[in-house]
Amino acid sequence: MKTRKTPQTLRSHRWYGVNDLRSFGHRSRTAQMGYHRSDYAGKPVIAIINTWSDINPCHSHFRQRAEEVKRGIWQAGGFPVEMPAISLSEPFQKPTTMLYRNLLAMETEELLRSYPIDGCVLMGGCDKTTPALIMGALSMNLPTIFMPAGSMLRGDFKGNYLGSGSDTWKYWAELRAGNITEEEWQGVEEGIARSPGHCMTMGTASTMTSAAEAMGLTLPGAASIPAPDSRHAQMATLMGKRIVELVWEDLCIRDIVDARAIDNAVTTVLALGGSTNAIVHMIALARRAGVALDLARFDALARRTPVLANIRPSGKYLMEDFYYAGGLRGMLAQLTDLLDTSVPTVNGHTLGENIMGAAVYNDDVIRPRSNPLVASDGLAVLHGNLAPNGAVIKPAAMEAQFQKHAGRAVVFRDYNDMAARLDDANLDIDKDSVIVLQSAGPQGAPGMPEWGQLPLPKKLLAQGVRDMLRISDARMSGTSYGACVLHISPESHIGGPLAFVQDGDVIELDVPNRSLNLKISDAELGRRRAAWVPPKPHYTRGFGTLYLKHVTQADKGCDFDFLEDGASPEHATPDPEIH
């Protein structure tokens, strides 16, 4: 049991409460902003790390939500400090937000370290923002609550619900196959994203915010509330109130996120039919918490966990439906035998107490254990001579015929090569071929973008083909569908075996046996490796060089090697140089 904090033992006391020249500066400059001593003296200073920006549509409600969090903090006797952090906007940032996930994690850690912060509310949701904020907070280890952005409303087109990403790919394929008009395509454009909030399919955003709740980092039920729902605003205020008490209790994020909480989050990801991206993020996040999560653990949990959430792209419904059907609490209540329900959470109750009695109101959206969407294997980890350190596939979101498949490789050396040649009428490819993309990994792309759902050639689309076996060292959007082998490690750019695949080689996938192999001899593989010339690095200056020098491979979470281990040693006191 921890000792309850007092005003004198708050971290911020070293900035505000002592009587020296430096603290005079802090108090006089706080007065400059219009605050009286009585506004903050002896109170927990709460950072609201806000990833709002004018170019992040998923967080466009965050200015308002920050005010609601502040209202709760004031009411509970805290002193709120809103701090903007880089806004990783999935639709806009190039080459990929993944290039910058670790930058936001570093920024979060350093904001919390360098200012007089006692506790924090992290505001995120759009894909990489959730893992980045939590990774940074784990390294700093203060009392922390994560405020999920909430999903946007269902998309609408001609009376049909549209799902983020999933229906973009679907209607794009129909447009390329000549089955819909340009005018109809524009109708999809106007209706697919019609409110604030993150993607409302089971993409990375819904997956990772739900994982955050399963880890105990949100108030119960928070991750499932749609962004525009007034209950989302209420939740924001309640989080503001709770974080103040969490500081007095001195319940820090690493008191909550341990191996048990990580396993609970992975089980949740799997039961949701969650994004493959969660594998990279959960491994990185776990390593920040000192937990040695690896691909083997993911696969072991996948073998025992049923997919219960009937949500696109694996299923039929959207996050708004999931909320009305009982939300994450309803789903977790079906899984108590697979979870450690004794773990603490930020509201001071155990996970088990938080989900006790949670009901399901639509058992087609949240399936019962007796009728899962898929019995197990929401995700699967592959090994073989093409992926010595592992690769990933999402069996729940692909045509079943590809579970065991062998075909001839059609190789593209990079994304531009694929874009230039894929639709060439003379390309030697058929529905059984295996499309291979090289140079799309953490270093190769760079940034490991979501290119892994490789497009199908136009001529095969016109023949009615809608899925093929595709392999790469890229990631794939959680909203995507298809037989796509992803995250091949080591990646081709650094000399992984994917670099040596040639047109016409036979590639064999066997999901039940978890294998992925290039059917050439070891001697031939050795000859190709010896002849391989390493490509030049993508960056020679700036953040990109730091990234290339330190990013780890996909099976290690793509964190920077120098950020992985240990809590920040500096968190107890301000930097002596601060003035």
Binding stretches for ligand FES (CB under 6 A): 58, 90-91, 126-127, 164, 198-199, 203, 205
For residues 148 and 390, which CB has a smaller minimum distance to ligand FES in the complex?
A: 148
**Which of 11/101 has CB closer to ligand FES?**
101
Least separation in angstroms between CB 16 and ligand FES: 37
273 or 390: CB nearest ligand FES: 273
Instruction: Kindly state the smallest distance separating residue 390's Cβ from ligand FES, in Å.
Output: 26
What is the closest distance, in whole angstroms, from the C-beta atom of residue 384 to ligand FES in the complex?
32
Closest to ligand FES by CB, 58 vs 391, is 58
Nearest CB to ligand FES, comparing residues 90 and 263: 90
Q: Helices in 314-471 by DSSP H: which ranges?
A: 319-324, 327-332, 351-355, 415-421, 458-462
CB nearer to ligand FES: give 27 or 394. 394
Q: Which value, to the nearest 10 degrees, does the dihedral of the CA atoms of residues 105, 300, 204, 445 take? A: 70
CB of 450 vs ligand FES, minimal distance in Å: 10
Identity of the residue, 189 or 561, whose beta carbon is nearer to ligand FES in the bound complex: 189
Residue whose C-alpha is closest to residue 58's, from 228, 210, 218, 187: 228
Residue closer to ligand FES (CB basis): 57 or 390: 57
Give Cβ neighbours of residue 249 (< 8 Å, ≥ 6 apart). Answer: 2, 4, 5, 143, 348
Q: Which is nearer to ligand FES, 199 or 335 (CB)?
A: 199
- CA-closest candidate to residue 127, choices 63, 48, 202: 202
Q: Angle at Cα 85 formed by Cα 117 and Cα 72, nearest 5°?
A: 50
Give Cα 410 distance to the centre of its chain: 30
d(CA 522, CA 180): 48
Residue 183, exposed/middle/buried by CB under 10 A (0-12, 13-18, 19+)?
exposed
The DSSP symbol for 429 reads -
Nearest to ligand FES of 203, 482 (CB atom):
203
Q: What is the nearest approach in angstroms of ligand FES to the Cβ of residue 128?
A: 9
Q: How far is the CB of 129 from ligand FES (least distance, A)?
A: 8
- List the one residue out of 464, 416, 411, 394 whose CA is nearest residue 166: 394
**Residue 476 Cβ vs ligand FES, minimum distance, rounded to whole Å:** 13
Q: How far is the CB of 276 from ligand FES (least distance, A)?
A: 15
Least distance to ligand FES, CB of residue 205, Å: 4
DSSP letters spanning 303-352: HH--B-B-BTTTSSB-HHHHHHTTHHHHHHTT-GGGS-TT-B-TTSSBHH
Query: Hey, what amino acid is at 52?
Result: W
Beta bridge partners of 391: 382
Sole residue written with tokens 């930020």: 346
The burial of 110, by beta-carbon neighbours within 10 Å (0-12 exposed, 13-18 middle, 19 or more buried), is given as middle
Four-point Cα dihedral 143, 133, 210, 173, nearest 10:
170
Rg (CA), the chain: 24
CB of 151 to ligand FES, least distance (A): 8
